[in-house]
């Protein structure tokens, strides 16, 4: 790889930057960051790479372009760089939902330009370049999206790129991707937000300072609910129909569970509680978590 341009240098952008630099994956790394606050943070942190003020300067010099901005920024940026793009560019992004963002890309991107979407399953409740970690992607899945338009030569290069970043790669369609992640990621996040909101509502109404006692369960959800709000609005809106199906499935289950509690249906509750335990063992077997009990972080 010659040069890489990273557009948007928050948690994911800065983590990629550090990794690319450490593993010498590119000759030069250009970094574009719109936010003045993050721009000066990047300077202060002395991150590797060349901070550029104008996308127009960096695009023609880069072989690969990685969008690490919120998905709602894609259109604006595409329209700005379109005339500097050529068929040799490999463009990717790290957005968390795919069908809708690919529609936006298709509608706005100049013809015969190759954009292959990526979704590294890595992240955290924090955002900003100060949290970047070169090993953020280590052994994590990175989903690459294949459509009819996908340039297979570029796909191979991109798979190779993510492997160098440390990820395990898997290729799937945008439809499959958005379905799976509506359940494994989007639903858990919105549930966490709503759980924390319910606690806030209760606290206001009851005037009880209940957060003091959040170590009993609420705490763990508050972590997830602290994630970046712009990013999550974009995801929930973009993957609307899958997300709403997931919410409906969840509410159906929750209502049945409520009925079981109300009628004290021992058999049904115990069966349900036992079944969900199996998922935990599967997740550990799949190395998606470690088998170390969480005794309350302190």
The site map against its own copies for 206-245 (x = CB under 8 A) is x-x-xxxxxxxxxxxxxxxxx--xx-xx--xx--x--xx-
Per the CB < 8 A criterion, the answer to whether 122 and 165 are in contact is no
The site map against its own copies for 1-40 (x = CB under 8 A) is ----------------------------------------
Here the tokens at position 131 are 């949290």
For its own copies, which is the closer residue by CB, 84 or 232? 232
Within positions 140 to 159, which residues make up the interface with its own copies, using CB under 8 A?
A: 140-141, 143
CB of residue 237 to its own copies, shortest distance in Å: 5
Within positions 94 to 133, which residues make up the interface with its own copies, using CB under 8 A?
A: 96, 121-126, 131, 133
The 10 Å Cβ neighbour count of residue 173 is 14
| Count of residues that interact with its own copies, criterion CB under 8 A | 105
Is there binding between residue 193 and its own copies (CB under 8 A)?
yes
In our burial notation (b when 16+ CB lie closer than 10 A, e otherwise), range 228-256 reads beebbebbbebbbebbeebbeeeeeeeee
Is there binding between residue 139 and its own copies (CB under 8 A)?
yes
Q: What totals of helices (H) and strands (E) does the chain contain, helices first?
A: 12, 9
Beta-sheet strands, E only, within the chain: 3-7, 28-32, 50-52, 64-67, 90-93, 114-115, 118-120, 141-145, 168-172
Is there binding between residue 254 and its own copies (CB under 8 A)?
yes
Is there binding between residue 273 and its own copies (CB under 8 A)?
yes
For its own copies, which is the closer residue by CB, 107 or 207? 207
From 57-65, 86-94, 154-162, 288-296, give the range in contact with its own copies by CB under 8 A. Answer: 288-296
Dist CA 242 CA 185 (whole Å): 12
CB of residue 55 to its own copies, shortest distance in Å: 26
For its own copies, which is the closer residue by CB, 73 or 151? 73
Greatest Cα-to-Cα distance within the chain, rounded to the nearest angstrom: 68
Dist CA 15 CA 130 (whole Å): 10
Chain CA centroid to CA 286, Å: 20
Is there binding between residue 188 and its own copies (CB under 8 A)?
yes
Dist CA 71 CA 119 (whole Å): 12
Is there binding between residue 282 and its own copies (CB under 8 A)?
yes
Here the tokens at position 146 are 């294949």
CB of residue 80 to its own copies, shortest distance in Å: 23
Among 68, 90, 136, 159, binds its own copies (CB under 8 A): 136
């Amino acid at each position: 790889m010659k040069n890489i341009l990273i557009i948007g240098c928050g948690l994911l952008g800065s983590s990629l930057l550090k990794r690319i630099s450490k593993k010498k994956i590119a000759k030069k790394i250009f970094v574009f960051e719109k936010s003045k606050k993050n721009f000066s943070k990047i300077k202060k942190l002395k991150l590797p790479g060349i901070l550029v003020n104008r996308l127009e300067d960096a695009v023609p010099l880069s072989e690969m372009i990685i969008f690490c901005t919120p998905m709602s920024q894609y259109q604006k940026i595409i329209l700005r760089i379109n005339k500097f793009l050529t068929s040799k560019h490999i463009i990717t992004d790290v957005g968390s939902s795919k069908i809708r963002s690919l529609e936006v890309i298709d509608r706005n991107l100049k013809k015969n330009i190759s954009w292959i979407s990526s979704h590294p399953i890595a992240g955290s409740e924090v955002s900003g370049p100060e949290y970047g970690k070169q090993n953020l992607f280590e052994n994590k899945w990175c989903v690459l999206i294949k459509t009819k338009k996908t340039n297979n030569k570029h796909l191979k290069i991109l798979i190779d790129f993510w492997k160098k970043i440390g990820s395990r790669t898997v290729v799937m369609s945008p439809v499959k991707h958005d379905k799976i992640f509506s359940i494994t990621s989007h639903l858990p996040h919105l549930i966490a937000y709503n759980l924390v909101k319910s606690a806030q509502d209760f606290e206001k109404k009851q005037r009880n300072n209940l957060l003091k006692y959040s170590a009993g369960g609420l705490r763990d959800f508050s972590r997830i609910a602290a994630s970046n709000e712009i990013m999550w609005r974009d995801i929930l809106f973009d993957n609307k129909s899958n997300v709403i199906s997931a919410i409906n499935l969840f509410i159906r289950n929750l209502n049945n569970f409520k009925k079981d509690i109300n009628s004290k249906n021992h058999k049904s509750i115990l069966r349900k509680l036992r079944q969900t335990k199996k998922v935990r063992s599967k997740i550990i077997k799949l190395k998606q978590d470690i088998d170390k009990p969480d005794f309350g972080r302190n």
